[in-house]
Amino acid sequence: MSYQVLARKWRPRSFREMVGQEHVLQALINALDHDRLHHAYLFTGTRGVGKTTIARILAKCLNCERGVSSEPCGECSSCLEIAEGRSVDLIEVDAASRTKVEDTRELLENVQYAPTSSRYKVYLIDEVHMLSGHSFNALLKTLEEPPPHVKFLLATTDPQKLPATILSRCLQFNLKNMPPEQIVGHLGSVLEQEMVSYEEPALWLLGRAANGSMRDALSLTDQAIGFGSGSLTESDVRSMLGTVDLSFVYQLLEAVAAGEPSAVLDIVGKMAEHAPDFESSLDELISLLHRVAIAQAVPDAIDNQWGDAARIGEIAASLSAEDAQLFYQIALNGKRDIALAPEPRAGLEMILLRMLAFRPAAVIDDSLGPADLQPAQPQSQPAAEGEVGAPVKKPGEPVAPAAPRASSIPEQQTAVGADDVSPIISAPAAAPAQQLPVAAQETPVDGDATGPVPLAELAPDNWPRLLEHLGLLGIVYNIASHCELRSRSANELEFVLDEANASLFNDGHSEKIRLAMENYFGQPLQLSIIAGKPCSETPAKRQERLARERQLEAVAEIEGDPLLQQLITRFDGELDRASIAPTDH
C-alpha cells in the first residue's frame, strides 16, 4: 500500500477532531443542532488553517443518512463518499482554474436539479476570490436565492478581493492562525500514534516554522521524519530548517550585555561554521529579547517551553529594562535592513555592533531634578581658552594663565545590580538648589486692578475685568468677550460686537448678557449689541495679546538660562521652542 502523507492521513473527519477554531465550530455546531442553517457560508483564513476541512465536515453533517446533526456517523454511504472524494452531490470547484464566466454559468445550469442521492447538493468553491467580475455577477442571484436543496460553501485566503455583494449574501467565518502551543500538542499526539520518537524542542521548532498553518506543520514533520531516519531530534530539525542553535543566541546577547565586541564577533564566527540562516538567527535574537523584556516586567510570566527559564532570568538581571528595549528596537529595525547588506553575516554583525555603539554610557537617576545637575564649568573660575564658556581672546591681548580646571563630571556611583556597568550620575548633597526660570505671572495691564467694577466707573478699559465676574459660560461668554463697550449713559449700555465673530449671535445672547449684568449690579439695565468693527481692544483680543506676551517672556527666560545653555552645548542639543509654555498657561 502506498504511503499517505500525514497532512492527508490526519485530516479531521468530524468537528470533534478539529484542533483550534473553536469560535467557528461553536457557531456551526449550534446551527446544525438547532436547525438554523444558512444557504451560503464563507470561510476565510490563511493557508492550512482548516477552511476546506471544515467545509467537507459540514457537507457530511448536512447529508448524513442518519439526519442533519453536528456529529455525522462517518459510516453511511454518503459520509464515506464525501470522505473519499467521490460524492456526486458534493461539487468541489477550484475557482483558480475556472475563472471565466462561461465556467460559472455551466456550473449553475444544474443547480435547479435535485441531488442524486443526498439530502442537499453542496457546492464547495475554493479560492473563490479568483473568479472574474462577470463570474461573480452570474453567481449573485443564485447565491442569494438558491433552491432549498442547494448549499454554497465558499473558501478564500483573500476576502478583500470579494465584492461586497457576495459578502453580504454569506455567513462569514474568519479562521485564525494556529498558535505554536496548539500545533505542538497536535504534532505530539500524531507522532505518538505513528509510533515515531521525538524530542519536544524539535516540535517547537516545527510549530514556529509552520507560521500558524497546521498543514505546513504536518508537511514539515513528514520532511523531518525522513531527514532524521524515522525520529525527530532537535539537532536534525535545526539542520533541516537552517535555524541556529539557541546556545549561540544566548551567548550573543550575554556578550552584548557585557559590552564585549570581540566576544560578539567570535561567536558570530563560530555560528558561521555551521552555515546558519543569519536572518533566522536575528529572528531568534528578537524572540529572546522579547522574552527577556517580559521576564523583567513580570518575572512569573517567563515561559519554560525551551527549558531555559533560569538562563532567561539571568540575562534579564544583567540588563536594564531600557537596554533590553533599545536592543529589541535595533534588532527589529535591522531585520528590515539586513537584506540590503552585502552578505547576511555582515548585516548581523553590524546590528550587534550597533547595539554596543548606541548603548548609553550613563544612566541618569530619575530621582534627580534640574536643580541637582552641576554646571560644566564653575562660574567663579574662568574656562580655559577653547573650552565652552571661555572668553574670546582679542588679537594682541596677552594670554592669562588658566586657572586649575575643575572637574565637570560629578562623582559616579555604581548602579544597582552586579552586572550593570552603567554608572548613575548624582550630584553632591551640598549642591546649591537651582530652578529653571518660571514665567512671570500676569501683572495688571493698563492700570487695571483686580477687584469688582462699580457701574459708575464702568469704562471700555475695565470692561474686560468686569466680564470675568459675570459668570457667563459657553457661547454667551464667547460673544461677550468679542464685544467692545462703546458707550454708557446712566443705566444704558451700548456694545459693538466684532463682526468677524457675529455669525452665531442672536437676541437671546444679548438678553442673557443683560440679565447677568443686572444680577451683578443689582439694578435694571438697558443693553444693546450691534455688529461692527471695534475701535479698541476687546476682552478676547486682550487675552490673545497677554498670552503672546507671556509666551515670549517664557521663551526669553528659558533661552537666557545659563544652566540650560551649558546642557545644550555639552550634549549638542537644540531647544524645542514649540514645547515651551508659561507655567500660568
Q: What is the pLDDT of residue 275?
A: 73
CA 336 to chain centre: 17
CA distance 310 to 204: 19
How long a stretch of residues is the chain? 585
Instruction: For the chain, count helices (H), then strands (E).
Output: 22, 13
* C-alpha closest to that of 221 among 247, 199, 243: 199
Give me the residue label for grid cell 463518499: 81
Q: What is the pLDDT of residues 216-263, one digit of tens each?
A: 999 999 999 988 888 888 888 888 887 767 788 889 999 999 899 999
**Do 449 and 478 contact (CB within 8 A), yes or no?**
no
Distance, first Cα to last Cα, the chain: 85
Q: Would you call 412 helix, strand, or coil by DSSP?
A: strand
CA distance 373 to 382: 20
Q: What is the pLDDT of residues 272-298, one digit of tens each?
A: 887 777 888 888 899 899 989 999 998
Say how many C-beta atoms besides its own lie within 10 A of residue 423's C-beta: 17
CA distance 51 to 167: 16
The grid coordinates listed for 210 are 509552520
The grid coordinates listed for 123 are 457546492
Using DSSP bridges, classify how beta strands 492-498 and 231-232 pair: parallel, antiparallel or unpaired. Answer: unpaired
3-state secondary structure 83-108: HCCCCCCEEEEECCCCCCHHHHHHHH
**Do 481 and 543 contact (CB within 8 A), yes or no?**
yes
3-state secondary structure 488-521: EECCEEEEEEEHHHCCCCCHHHHHHHHHHHHHHH
Q: Which helix (H) or strand (E) holds 41?
A: strand 40-44
The grid coordinates listed for 219 are 508537511
Q: What is the pLDDT of residue 495?
A: 92
What helix, strand, coil percent values describe the chain, rounded to 5?
50, 10, 40
CA distance 244 to 374: 49
Alpha helices (H) in 359-413, listed in sequence order: none
Q: Would you call 44 helix, strand, or coil by DSSP?
A: strand
Q: What is the pLDDT of residue 141?
A: 85
Q: Would you call 42 helix, strand, or coil by DSSP?
A: strand
CA distance 531 to 38: 66
Alpha helices (H) in 228-297, listed in sequence order: 234-241, 246-258, 261-272, 278-297
Q: What is the pLDDT of residue 171?
A: 92
CA angle 217, 219, 221 (to 5 degrees): 70
Q: Which amino acid is at 488?
A: R
Cα separation values, 199 from 187, 224, 232, Å: 11, 12, 6
CA distance 242 to 230: 19
CA distance 478 to 471: 12
CA distance 17 to 422: 55
Long-range CB pairs of 339-343, under 8 A, 24+ apart, other chains included: 339/279
Strand runs labelled E in 165-210: 171-174, 197-198
Give me the residue label for grid cell 464566466: 101
Tens digits of pLDDT across the chain (585 residues): 477 888 888 889 889 888 888 999 999 999 999 889 999 999 999 988 999 999 999 999 999 988 898 899 888 999 999 988 888 999 888 888 877 888 888 888 888 888 888 899 999 999 899 888 888 888 888 888 889 999 999 999 999 999 999 999 999 999 999 888 889 999 999 999 999 999 888 898 898 888 889 999 999 999 999 888 888 888 888 888 877 677 888 899 999 998 999 999 999 998 888 777 788 888 889 989 998 999 999 888 777 666 677 888 888 888 899 999 999 999 999 988 888 899 999 999 999 999 999 888 655 555 555 555 555 444 444 444 444 344 434 344 444 443 433 333 333 333 333 344 333 333 333 333 333 333 333 334 343 445 567 777 788 888 888 888 888 888 889 999 999 988 888 888 899 988 888 888 888 888 889 889 888 888 888 888 888 888 888 899 989 999 899 999 888 888 888 888 888 888 888 888 888 887 765
Say how many C-beta atoms besides its own lie within 10 A of residue 535's C-beta: 9
Q: What is the pLDDT of residue 211?
A: 85
CA 131 to chain centre: 35
**Do 482 and 532 contact (CB within 8 A), yes or no?**
no
Burial of 60 (0-12, 13-18, 19+ CB in 10 A): buried
Q: What is the pLDDT of residue 229?
A: 86
Radius of gyration of the chain (CA): 39
Q: What is the pLDDT of residue 362?
A: 54
Which residue ranges form the domains of the chain, and what is each CATH number?
Answer: 6-174 (3.40.50.300), 180-241 (1.10.8.60), 246-358 (1.20.272.10), 455-536 (3.30.300.150), 548-579 (no CATH)
CA distance 330 to 335: 9
Give me the residue label for grid cell 517567563: 302
The grid coordinates listed for 403 are 586657572
The grid coordinates listed for 215 are 498543514
Q: What is the pLDDT of residue 304?
A: 66
* C-alpha closest to that of 120 among 153, 169, 98: 153
Ramachandran sector of residue 353 (left: φ over 0; alpha: ψ -120 to 50; beta: rest):
alpha
Q: What is the pLDDT of residue 154?
A: 92
Say how many C-beta atoms besides its own lie within 10 A of residue 321's C-beta: 12
CA distance 209 to 211: 5
The grid coordinates listed for 371 are 536643580
